[in-house]
């Protein structure tokens, strides 16, 4: 029987060296993956028959100032297991491999990642702007410290 | 109060003024045409208001309330406003076609009214091929819708125009076939004769042609572009369909023509199946109006109840269901008529 | 508009023409005010309140206001919600496609001045009046259907005060 | 449905394989202003006559940068913004955010507060499904369901207005509980509404469910297969219509949903009709949950004490709730200050519209309208 507590040890066993466990508050099953190994890990998770991670719920970029993070939240609709997968990227020239052939749901999230955070997504089938206007030329607005033409910061009281 | 007498009286006055022959008929016909045009305008105004009220009450609303008694002159306000609106001819349209499309649709509606028997002795022109004439004239609408759709230089309008062409031409066939049954029974193409044959409620052709009546009503709904067959202007799919680029008075003409068309098909149904102006006590034209407006109400009722068909289902329905049934109806009528003739004749 | 727009200028020079113009003006203004067809067009949250206003309980149709899907046939543009930089050129285009006389009602805080998205947002236009001229502003986030209706009634009053002469000289009141 | 066959067009000669007739494809823009895109979504369609060959959604016309704004707001100031993220079901969205913050800061919500949240969210689910019913009918050309749906929604809106003071964006669910207790006589009015509403659902069904035109328009139209639905992370009624019995209220319980007894309706084919009927059945279930919530409503506090200078500890949390459109998620990262570092929002409509190009090829444009309406997408959830 596959239980939530077995998820992380099982992955650590399969990918020793490239994957490490993350301690987060509040406690949850989370792993930190090397950017280079991201496709291998997700291919393994997708095909994995024990936990059956079939549902990519969310893919978010985070600007933690000293580094960028890409966070994947995946779930299983059969075994009800959850897993948080994190990748840390350098703030300059961040690059990550696309997983949208593994989880189709990743498609637009990755486009968003590229336009809002400036993370280059490799081998993505359709890399156009998603949310921003077609003639946008002011950089990546979700980065911390970004400013633009029409951007007013709320004054502190 | 028979209006037929009124017309005779006008004719006599004209005669007493010394007019005769060609002049008399010219003046009389012009007068009738002017009267008809006025009637048409009033009728269209009334129908638009009525549709809005009926739909409002079906939907738990009130409808127009601020212009006159229960918004009675709402359509007048709409019309005046549309007169003042800028008349836009967008860039890239086929100008002459774009201009003439609303004129054609309005003219077609108007011309159909000439052969409708409004009451006893009250028919602008009692043609001996009246029904054939009306069927031929109302088909003109499709040309104008196609013109509007094609000339607008807009893809939605083009889709609407194409849909209307496909739809109206398809439904024209079962419509005409369903009428043929009545014509066999009436042995005449003249509208007045058909009505005179139906004196007394039991002689109405609806009792002998129930299938024909049902087919006619369905096909007529499609002819008049009403829901569930309002595909040419399906708001949710084609924005506004063939008239998407029209503004101001040109749009108003399309808008009014739709309602006049609905009135025309109801008037034909009344004449052919519901005994026309026949009825006790009330004057004949009143009976005609009551029956026709009741049918118009039925059309509105259908409109606010049913969803819209999809274009391929629509064609399927016309060719696979309505047409065979219309043929069946025609054959049954013919055979029945012949047998009746052999046995009792 | 053709003859209708030229007429008042000529009429004013005829003795007694002023009276006729005034009467005509009243009738025409009345007709425009009582038949404001609005464009079926929703941007954000306020669109839901606009839908409610059009529905059974509040019923826009009482004022003779019905929706038209095509901008060519509508008189009133209800800007219901937040306008973004990506959407702004489209709004401009829609406004240009409407046939004059045309009116714009900015519904809600976002359409008026950016609303809750004024600060810290990189994509919101701070007021629809930066893009197209606005006749009436209705405050609220979102405004209640009653306030939208009041906004429309205020617009009707405004329409009823229009002068034919201004109109025909192509002077757009700012 | 045998004439549904999709006609191939030779790209070189422009002739279709069927007739030998020269035809040409054309592109048409559906939206951003189009009556049936429910907001400002733009679909770029490649059409062959009435048939849609390819559909490319363009979004972002309502991108208001809520995520960016939230990074410069204190935790309590974010709840009103959350309502604007999902205006048709703002109760669920407020709950989503508060749930995340409460999990990071370990705030204990009093039981009455939890019950009130369930009560309000379920009422809001009914209201949202009524809007779905209204617009779905309208997009199929039936105008009357639109007005009936909105008429009955007004009863719920009145209940909300009485409690929270707003008609649409309630800002009712706050960190630690809810903003206000119920007003006097709320329970009675609410039960009265449920009694009134249950037979009304049958009326809707009379009007639509078994209407032959409605059936031909919706049955086997826009089938989203089980695998595709999972692959695109579809959620809520769309996922359930594809035959997957997945409901976060049961499968990943939050609040006090584990104390309630309800069914999870599912469909079989994943077509437009299934998505419709799942929502109709969900309305009945929601009525039952509302009744249970009122009957089991405990006494006591409705809100835990939260200081005005609220600062959760550093941490991060991904929370999900089941909204009317499906799984709504929020990823909250806190660095220990009074403002979040990151707040990522995930709406179900986003994934549904992403999946639209997979369903589209070969359908008619009228079907596209029906499919879009059956997803019940709302744009702020997509664009944020």
Please report the ipTM that was assigned to this predicted complex: 0.84
Task: Name the pLDDT band for C1 (thresholds 50, 70, 90).
Answer: very low
**What distance in Å separates the CA atoms of residue D130 and residue D150, rounded to the nearest whole number?**
7
The reported pLDDT for the residue numbered B1 is: 47
Residue of D nearest to C95 (CA): D33
Domain that holds residue B36: 4-60+69-344
Question: Could you tell me the pLDDT band of residue C7, with boundaries at 50, 70 and 90?
Answer: low
Q: Give the C-alpha separation, D132 to D374, whole Å.
A: 8
How many Å apart are CA D99 and CA D106, to the nearest integer? 10
Domains of chain A: which residue ranges? 4-122
The Cα D105–Cα B282 span in angstroms is 83
Contact map slice: B 288-327 vs C, CB within 8 A: none
Total domain count, chain B = 1
The residue length of chain A stands at: 157
| Residue D380: predicted pLDDT | 86
pLDDT for D83-138, tens place per residue? Answer: 888 888 888 888 989 888 888 888 888 888 888 888 889 999 999 999 888 888 88
CB nearest C43 (choices: D40, D65, D146): D40
Cβ atoms within 10 Å, residue C92: 12
CA angle D265, D158, D199 (to 5 degrees): 40
Contact B228 D217 (CB under 8 A): no
C128: DSSP letter: G
Percent pLDDT > 90 in chain D is 1
Angle of the D111-139 helix axis to the D144-164 helix axis, nearest 10: 160
Total Cβ atoms within 10 A of residue C93: 11
Give me the mean pLDDT over the C140-147 stretch.
88
List the D340-346 sheet strands across, edge first. D315-323, D326-334, D340-346
Instruction: Report how far residue D70's alpha carbon sits from residue D339's, in angstroms, rounded to the nearest whole number.
Output: 8
Of A138, A146, A152, which has the smallest distance from its Cβ to C118's Cβ? Answer: A152
E strands in D115-159: none
- At residue A129, the 3 state secondary structure works out as coil
pLDDT of residue B4: 60
Q: Count CB neighbours of B337 within 10 A.
A: 16
Do the strands A95-97 and C136-138 form a parallel or antiparallel pair, or are they unpaired? unpaired
CATH architecture of the domain D66-376 equals: Orthogonal Bundle (1.10)
Antiparallel, parallel or unpaired: β A82-89 and A68-75? antiparallel
Q: Examine the pLDDT at C167 and tell me if it is beyond 60.
A: no
Q: Please state, for a pLDDT cut of 70, what percent of chain A lies above it.
A: 98
**Residue in C40, C48, C56 nearest the CB of D151:** C56
Chain C touched by B84 (CB under 8 Å) = yes
Q: Which of B227, B307, B316 sits opposite D217 (nearest CB)?
A: B307
pLDDT at C4: 57
Q: Any chain D CB within 8 A of the CB of A127?
A: no
- Residue D233, chain A, CB below 8 Å: the answer is yes
Chain D CB contacts of A24 under 8 Å are 315-316
Taking 3-state DSSP, the helix, strand and coil percentages for chain D, each rounded to the nearest 5, stand at 50, 15, 35
What are the sequence ranges of the domains in chain D? 2-58, 66-376
| Partners of D319 in beta bridges | D330
**pLDDT average, residue stretch D219-228:** 85
Check: CB of residue C125 under 8 Å from CB of residue A151.
no
Instruction: Say if residue C155's pLDDT is above 50.
Output: yes
Token code pair at residue D227: 């695998």
Residues B90/B148, Cβ–Cβ less than 8 Å: no
Joined tokens for residue B7: 């017309």
Question: Which fold is adopted by the domain A4-122?
Answer: Beta Polymerase; domain 2 (3.30.460)
pTM to 2 decimals? 0.86
For an interface test with B, which of C1, C70, C71 has the most B Cβ atoms less than 10 Å from its Cβ? C70
Contact D87 C55 (CB under 8 A): no
Whether D26 and B153 have beta carbons less than 8 Å apart is answered as: no
Q: How far is B39 from chain C (nearest CA, A)?
A: 22
Q: How far apart are CA B311 and CA D47, in angstroms?
A: 15
Sign of CA dihedral B278, B284, B289, B290: negative
**H/E segment holding residue D57:** strand D51-58
User: Quick check: D31 pLDDT over 80?
Assistant: no
| Per-residue pLDDT, B188 | 82
Residues of chain B with pLDDT under 50: 1
pLDDT at A2: 65
Q: Which helix (H) or strand (E) holds B110?
A: helix B95-112
Interface of A with C (CB under 8 A): 131-134, 138, 141, 146, 148, 150-154
Distance CA D71, CA D333 (A): 10
Residue D234 above 60 pLDDT? yes
How many residues are listed for chain D in this entry?
384
Distance from CA of A104 to the nearest CA of D (A): 5
């Amino acid at each position: 029987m596959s239980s939530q507590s077995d998820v992380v040890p099982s992955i650590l066993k399969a990918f020793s060296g490239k994957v490490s466990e993350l301690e987060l508050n509040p406690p949850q099953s989370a792993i930190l993956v090397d950017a280079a190994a991201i496709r291998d890990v997700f291919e393994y998770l997708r095909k994995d028959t024990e936990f059956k991670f079939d549902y990519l719920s969310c893919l978010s970029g985070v600007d933690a100032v000293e580094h960028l993070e890409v966070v994947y939240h995946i779930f299983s609709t059969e075994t009800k297991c959850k897993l948080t997968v994190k990748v840390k990227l350098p703030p300059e020239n961040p690059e990550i491999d696309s997983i949208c052939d593994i989880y189709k749901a990743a498609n637009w999230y990755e486009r968003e990642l590229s336009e809002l955070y400036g993370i280059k997504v490799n081998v993505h089938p359709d890399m156009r702007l998603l949310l921003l206007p077609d003639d946008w030329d002011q950089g990546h607005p979700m980065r911390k410290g970004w400013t633009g033409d029409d951007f007013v910061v709320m004054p502190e009281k | 109060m028979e209006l037929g007498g009124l017309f005779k009286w006008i004719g006599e006055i004209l005669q007493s003024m010394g007019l005769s022959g060609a002049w008399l008929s010219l003046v009389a016909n012009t007068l009738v045409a002017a009267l008809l045009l006025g009637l048409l305008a009033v009728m269209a105004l009334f129908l638009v208001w009525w549709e809005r009220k009926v739909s409002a009450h079906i939907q738990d609303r009130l409808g127009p309330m601020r212009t006159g008694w229960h918004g009675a002159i709402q359509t007048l306000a709409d019309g005046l406003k549309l007169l003042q609106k800028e008349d836009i001819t967008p860039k890239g349209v086929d100008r002459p076609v774009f201009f003439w499309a609303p004129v054609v649709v309005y003219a077609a509606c108007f011309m159909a009214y000439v052969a409708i028997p409004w009451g006893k002795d009250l028919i602008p022109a009692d043609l001996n091929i009246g029904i054939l004439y009306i069927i031929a004239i109302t088909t003109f609408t499709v040309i104008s819708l196609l013109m509007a759709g094609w000339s607008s230089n807009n893809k939605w309008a083009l889709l609407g125009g194409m849909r209307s062409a496909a739809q109206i031409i398809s439904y024209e066939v079962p419509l005409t076939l369903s009428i043929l049954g009545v014509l066999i029974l009436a042995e005449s193409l003249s509208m007045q004769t058909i009505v005179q044959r139906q004196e007394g409620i039991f002689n109405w052709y609806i009792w002998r042609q129930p299938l024909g009546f049902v087919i006619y009503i369905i096909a007529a709904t499609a002819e008049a572009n009403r829901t569930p067959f309002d595909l040419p202007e399906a708001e949710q799919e084609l924005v506004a369909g063939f008239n998407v680029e029209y503004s101001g008075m040109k749009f108003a003409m399309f808008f009014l023509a739709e309602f006049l068309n609905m009135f025309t098909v109801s008037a034909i149904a009344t004449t052919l199946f519901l005994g026309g102006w026949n009825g006790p006590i009330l004057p004949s034209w009143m009976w005609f109006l009551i029956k026709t407006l009741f049918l118009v109400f039925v059309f509105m009722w259908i409109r606010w109840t049913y969803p819209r068909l999809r274009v391929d289902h629509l064609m399927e329905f016309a060719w696979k269901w309505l047409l065979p049934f219309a043929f069946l109806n025609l054959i049954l009528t013919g055979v029945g008529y012949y047998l009746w003739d052999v046995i009792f004749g | 508009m053709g003859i209708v727009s030229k007429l008042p200028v000529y009429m004013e020079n005829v003795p007694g023409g002023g009276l006729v113009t005034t009467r005509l003006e009243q009738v025409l203004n009345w007709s425009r005010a009582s038949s404001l067809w609005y464009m079926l067009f929703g941007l954000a949250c306020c669109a839901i309140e606009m839908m409610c206003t059009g529905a059974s309980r509040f019923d826009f149709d009482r004022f003779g206001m019905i929706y038209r899907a095509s901008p060519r046939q509508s008189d009133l543009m209800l800007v219901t919600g937040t306008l973004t930089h990506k959407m702004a050129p489209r709004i401009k285009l829609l406004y240009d496609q409407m046939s004059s006389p045309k009116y714009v009602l900015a519904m809600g805080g976002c359409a008026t001045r950016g609303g809750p998205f004024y600060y810290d947002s990189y994509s919101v236009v701070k007021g629809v009046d930066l893009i197209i001229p606005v006749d009436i502003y209705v405050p609220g986030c979102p405004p209640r259907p009653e306030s939208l209706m009041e906004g429309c009634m205020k617009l009707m009053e405004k329409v009823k005060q229009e002068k034919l002469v201004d109109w025909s000289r192509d002077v757009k009141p700012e | 449905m045998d004439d549904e066959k999709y006609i191939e067009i030779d790209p070189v000669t422009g002739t279709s394989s069927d007739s030998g007739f020269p035809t040409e494809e054309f592109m048409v823009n559906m939206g951003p202003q189009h009556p049936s895109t429910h907001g400002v979504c733009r679909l770029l369609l490649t059409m062959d006559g009435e048939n849609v060959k390819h559909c490319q959604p363009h979004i972002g016309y309502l991108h208001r940068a809520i995520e960016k704004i939230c990074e410069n707001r204190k935790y309590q100031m974010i709840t009103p913004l959350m309502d604007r993220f999902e205006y048709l079901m703002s109760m669920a969205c407020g709950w989503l955010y508060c749930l995340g913050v409460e999990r990071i800061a370990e705030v204990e919500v009093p039981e009455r507060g939890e019950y009130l949240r369930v009560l309000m969210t379920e009422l809001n689910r009914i209201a949202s499904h009524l809007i779905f019913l209204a617009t779905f009918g309208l997009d199929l050309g039936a105008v009357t369901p639109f007005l009936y749906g909105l008429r009955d929604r007004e009863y719920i809106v009145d209940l909300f207005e009485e409690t929270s003071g707003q008609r649409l964006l309630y800002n009712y669910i706050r960190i630690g509980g809810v903003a206000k207790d119920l007003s006097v006589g709320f329970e009675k009015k609410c039960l009265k509404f449920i009694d009134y509403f249950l037979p009304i659902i049958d009326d809707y069904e009379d009007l639509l469910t078994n209407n032959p035109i409605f059936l031909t328009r919706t049955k086997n139209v826009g089938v989203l297969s089980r695998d595709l639905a999972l692959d695109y992370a579809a959620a809520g009624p769309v996922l359930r219509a594809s035959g997957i019995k997945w409901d976060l209220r049961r499968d990943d319980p939050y609040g006090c949903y584990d104390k309630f007894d309800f069914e999870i309706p599912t469909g079989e084919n994943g077509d437009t009709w299934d998505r419709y009927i799942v929502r109709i059945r969900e309305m009945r279930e929601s009525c039952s949950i509302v009744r249970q919530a009122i009957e089991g409503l405990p006494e006591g506090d409705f809100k835990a004490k939260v200081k005005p200078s609220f600062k959760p500890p550093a941490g991060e949390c991904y929370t999900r709730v089941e909204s009317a459109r499906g799984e709504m998620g929020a990823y909250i990262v806190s660095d220990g200050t009074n403002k979040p570092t990151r707040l990522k929002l995930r709406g179900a409509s986003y994934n549904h519209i992403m999946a639209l190009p997979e369903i589209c090829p070969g359908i008619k444009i009228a079907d596209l309208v029906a499919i879009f309406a059956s997803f019940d997408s709302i744009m702020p959830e997509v664009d944020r």
